Structure 1
């Protein structure tokens, strides 16, 4: 597929009639549309299916087959399509610190560093399934507020090459608009740390492989699917469904069975899969 049809298919998938200008407002529009239309999900991980790392295979899954994916899929697709729109960008790797892990985590998340035409640098991320953060200028203390009214802050915490990273993304907002790892309405919580080191394709493949196969990895130990709403967040975390919209009562309930799960997945998240595939998820194993 050539660049032009690929870009047209992507814009249709995320509900935009045309590519926006390659500026800060355009980046905000593309990332928000991406996350509101392409779900985050790890169903293939839990089914033991291979996770694509080739850009064409990722586009076929997320655009052609209208599936979702996790960060290495989402942000590879976002990077390629932003480049086609005129946004200079490259991928970075990050350590997820959301939920206060006990040890220094590995580099199992990716995000984008975008350089605008005026030279300004911003971070963008359509692949963090636990929350939603709008694009932020790469400036110490930069803040943005998402549609669920959560605040997000970027802080410079170290020199290049130091651990856990040079930059830290933080969040302050309702825990209900997270995938269950958010804990406080009142305190800034760490989301992930990163630096600006160049990333090779092999580094991305290694991060994706660890995140989808290692026994300690989150995606190997839970079932998650989520979608950003213009003013909130909807998620399926194992057998719990949550929907939150700013200014409205939160809805939370248990998922009854595989049929209920399939209905919620299709109606609320936007993923339509056969019942027999979903019935094979470890979610329905005894003791899960």
Structure 2
């Protein structure tokens, strides 16, 4: 079966705040970008109900609505937004080759990777059912909704400690569920939560079930040493067991850290491959906010524009 082939100047892979912002800048620069949305059009924000911390929305905005606004703005300037998933790449040739849904081959002068990252979940039914109804994977995004209330957080790394500390400034009490009798977090972060009077650490503890019908009402915790179960009333449940960047298809060509986050040249969005740029959560394991993703999307489009200008002058 012969594949359809198409040549584009700018190909954007992924459609969260980074991808759409890159598209807005690239299309306004007259670069006619083509953006493929990936498997979750709009990215992680589409599973976020209220976004209250993005500048310019004084009354807050629903995540899906915000991504719809971003998409319309990109399309207004001429971005072609297409539904499809990049399934294979070859960055050893120029123009770069990207296969979409194993059906179309795009030959791209520049590729902007904005494939994002996905939160790791515990994988229990009640977590999925109550996602967005008190269950969250981002304390910085959603902690505010639980001010003055009791919440629980699962995790034992630096991020979990950081988010537990953050929640303790907003919530009346934070239960921290740690699966073993020790944490993976650095000593300084451990000390911070252990010495915080508002954080209670439950060691050897696993989530048996999140309780509640339409919203989180509590959590049933299993002590994996004693087998004992206890129910704790809470209104917010945060999962902080890490994120997985969606970068697998690039690993043969692009330099990444041990977790799979793309390494960019400091102060830019350039990767180790000329003409390939990375923005958003695919290359950011620290901030992971919509506004920082959008900022790097802008950078990637400007980097690509400069690269193309130099490319055409040679």
State TM-score, norm by structure 2.
Answer: 0.23
Higher relative contact order at CA 8 Å, sep ≥6: structure 1 or structure 2?
Answer: 2
